[in-house]
Amino acid sequence: MESAEIVRRFLRFFEERGHTVVPSASLVAEDPTLLLVNAGMVPFKPYFLGQRKPPYPRATSAQKVIRTNDIDEVGKTTRHASFFQMLGNFSFGDYFKEDAIPFAWELLTKPQSEGGFGFAEDRLWATVYLDDDEALDIWHKKAGVPLERIQRRGLADNYWHMGVPGPGGPCTEIYYDRGPEYGREGGPVADETRYLEVWNNVFMQFQLGAVRGKEDFDIVGELPAKSVDTGMGLERMAAILQGVDNIYEIDTTYKILNRAAELTRTRYGRNHRSDVSLRVIADHMRAGVMLVGDGVIPSNEGRGYVLRRMLRRAIRNLRLLGAGEERYMHELTDVTISVMGRQYANLTVDAANIHTVIDAEEASFLGTLRTGTAIFDVAVEENKRKGSTTLSGAQAFQLHDTFGFPIDLTLEMASEQGLQVDEDGFRRLMAEQRAMAKADAAAKKTGNADISVFGDILEKSGKVDFLAYDHTSAEATVVGLLVEGANVPAVGAGSTVEVVLDRTPFYAEGGGQLSDQGVIRTDGAEVEIVDVQTPVAGLIVHRGKVKHGEIRIGDHAHAEVDVERRRAISRSHTATHLVHRGFRNALGESAAQAGSENSPGRFRFDFTAAGAVSPTVLRDVEDEVNAVLINDLKVNAFYTSQDEARAMGALALFGEKYGNEVRVVEVGDYSRELCGGTHVASSGQLGLVKVLGEGSIGAGVRRVEALVGIDAFRFLARESVLVSQLSEQLKTPKEELPERIDGIVTRLRTAEKELERLKSAQVLAVAGELAGQAGDLDGVSVVTHRAPDGTSADDLRKLALDVRGRFPSDRATVVVVAGVPSDRPVVVAVVNEAGRDRGLKAGRLVSVAAKTLGGGGGGKDDVAQGGGTRPEAIGDALRAVEESISSALS
């Protein structure tokens, strides 16, 4: 039975039993305490906590999940995975143990011909929490499971929570006995390789406070209603129903693994080392494609770092399998989209964008590997020169932390060079880094963000009537006031407040568009609104400051938007749509929007692209967009179904989430996108769009910044004035300015080089004279000299070395030269070998001089350089060096 069919049967079973089928939420968690969705119940968490009223009493879903706790174990076993899918049925105070357990038992044991999964009853075992007699009785008396196949287990196994404050409770799990060939008798408590967990019924009863560990937490109290959260791992179920040994051999994983084996000319099952790499590749490709499909872009922090780490682990393991510099990620992405696209259609739709992002990350990491290899070679050479056979933990850690060089690759390459690696030292440094990161993360985990106060307002007052598309002012009633997150009946002058109205013309920040600003007036107060947000669906919250008077719940209010700001932002938003279409026309459909910000008079637009966009393309896109403005195309917005919108070619933004009903904004026949923002009435109202430039903001993602309307005109006006001034000053026609300026710059650079050459020659010309004036300190020739101001640090170094070279090699010699290249003094000291034999070291002498100059420095025993902040102290610094030499010699 294929994975897609398992999902279909599960959802249909529970839909027939009154459950609402809820599509999988994005892997990007809405919960601010979570980086990524790490459990099937995450999208329903506010309902379990009573923070929001559930729109249905029972639900069922197939949820995408990412867990990174055991990422280093992925591949080493056939049980660990970073990406999986959780099938679940949920009750929000509707039913509890007495129904949840029979539901699970029925679906598992019902014959496949009747829509079930057809498990033999005598191969199923159940576990319950230690003191959960109620669950045990239901299993035995209602489901008919013999007592000898029901086992009690403790907190570690049969109590569930998310690892952070939130809902939790005891659970009962169902295990499938795969047979004696997989392990020993005795049920799940004896062997969880033979007895494979397939279902977990969590009985949500308690609100947990401080969560210090799996078995160490505080129970704050009971949840508002007893609820059920169940989870059935799709991959484990597929392994059983498809008759394979593990999750890496099921339909949606093995095809990826097998393609990786073909590309690297490897065979799965031949040896443990290559099998580990193939499993890592298969798992991380699934996780990576799903994350990119949900709009995550590789970066060095947050969820972007999770994605980058997984993609790079996949690339590194391809290399371990012999891929070398070959680029295989495109083909592996292709097969991953193919196998997962049956369940997630957006992957097929966004295939070009996903390829662009992953291909760019592969190219970037291969460059990192080349750099890391060069650094590695230097470290190896240094160790061999010292006679060491072991790379230090610090060297390995630097390669990993600074250059992104995986430790496994360092170990492999060191072995090829006949060297070992101080793995203990490396892991100690890694542990220290993780401890700091963990402490930082713990400090940020404040538990589930308390949005219950907003949920209460929404439940009492209903959904806010949103008027922003058609109005910039409206009459309304104050239905909610909050100060520092707490409900209050009234707020006086000078206070910062959050105001909820029953209807509003204000646009809340979203879709890249900044929020409106303006004022809310009542008979007795005025509130200046600076921000508008939607903390929960259906509720719009205005944040601002009470300028005067007192605003109260129930007050009649007049809400008025800053119209000029709204119009300027609307122009920017419409311009973003046009630029998006322009880049797709120029670069292909892979140039998908990956973010934006629409501000008054300007916008930034992020899009996926394999590399830099040429100035010619930028100019062509700008010309095309401005031609649309001249044609003054009508801007139209309407609602339709998501399927109909896609059928008519409307662009859905990469990684965005949409409901069944969507709003489409079209600009004539030129642009058509799903969008919830505000726009102009016709393209001509934009006036002018000026693209300022583009640059990289990450692997596979570029950013364009542009001006709109009067801001664009003012920019061009300033540019025109500047060009006119240059033309007048250079006595050159405007159209000839580039050639004229290029000629001037070329001559200037030539003159600067000649000037530098003459200055260097002048500086070095005194070398013979300085050598002839050398002093003698106890048989050591000593030269101290202040060079003319403006002498570069490089010339100071050359002069010192030149003077030293004029003395016989057997004559102990010290040369110290100081100068002021710009505004800060620099000192250079050199000591020949005979001088070093007398105990004189250049680094020590520089430190003495630099300290007098108010700075620091150092270097090798033969050549050293330092500096400071006190140019007036150069004479004192040189005298201090002479004293230091005398002291050292005595």
d(CA 882, CA 890): 12
Residue with tokens 């101290």: 784
Mean pLDDT of the chain: 88
Domain 3-245 has CATH 3.30.930.10: yes
Residue spans of the domains in the chain: they are 3-245, 250-359, 452-561, 566-717, 766-889
Give DSSP secondary structure letters for 138-192.
Answer: IIIIIS---GGGEEEE-HHHHEE--SSSEEEEEEEEEEEE--GGGS-SS-TTT-T
What pLDDT does residue 656 have?
64
d(CA 233, CA 196): 11
Spatial CA neighbour of 57 closest among 94, 105, 88: 94
CATH architecture of 566-717: 2-Layer Sandwich (3.30)
Who's near 174: CB < 8 A, 6+ residues apart? 104, 105, 108, 124, 125, 126, 197, 198, 199, 200, 201
Asked if 809 and 834 touch (Cβ cutoff 8 Å), the reply is yes
Who's near 406: CB < 8 A, 6+ residues apart? 312, 313, 316, 400
Predicted model pTM: 0.69
Spatial CA neighbour of 333 closest among 313, 309, 357, 349: 357
Residue with tokens 């997630």: 344
pLDDT, one tens digit per residue, over 835-845 is: 999 989 998 89
d(CA 182, CA 451): 48
- The helix (run of H) or strand (run of E) holding residue 461 is helix 452-461
Could you tell me whether strands 473-483 and 556-561 are parallel, antiparallel, or unpaired per DSSP bridges? antiparallel
Spatial CA neighbour of 83 closest among 224, 222, 253, 244: 253
Largest CA distance in the chain: 108
Asked if 9 and 116 touch (Cβ cutoff 8 Å), the reply is yes
Assign a CATH topology to domain 766-889. Answer: Diaminopimelate Epimerase; Chain A, domain 1 (3.10.310)
d(CA 807, CA 814): 10
d(CA 487, CA 483): 7
Tokens coding 294: 């949900």
Q: Per-block average pLDDT, block size 10, for the chain (890 residues)?
A: 94 95 88 81 82 88 88 82 93 93 95 94 94 93 93 92 80 94 92 91 88 86 87 92 92 94 91 92 95 87 86 88 87 95 89 90 82 79 82 84 71 79 86 66 45 79 92 94 90 93 94 94 94 89 94 95 95 95 89 88 89 91 95 94 85 70 93 93 94 85 92 91 88 86 90 81 81 89 90 88 91 93 90 92 90 82 90 92 89
What pLDDT does residue 446 have?
39
Spatial CA neighbour of 606 closest among 570, 574, 580, 625: 580
Q: Is 537 exposed, middle or buried (0-12, 13-18, 19+ CB in 10 A)?
A: exposed
What pLDDT does residue 462 have?
87
Cα dihedral 616, 617, 622, 625, rounded to 10, equals 140
What pLDDT does residue 443 have?
46
What pLDDT does residue 657 have?
65
What is the CATH code of the structural domain delimited by 452-561?
A: 2.40.30.130
Asked if 542 and 506 touch (Cβ cutoff 8 Å), the reply is yes
* DSSP 8-state assignment for residue 131: T
Asked if 162 and 48 touch (Cβ cutoff 8 Å), the reply is no
Tokens coding 611: 């590399």
> Annotated binding site, which residues?
573, 577, 675, 679
Q: Is 562 exposed, middle or buried (0-12, 13-18, 19+ CB in 10 A)?
A: middle
> Annotated binding site for Zn(2+), which residues?
573, 577, 675, 679
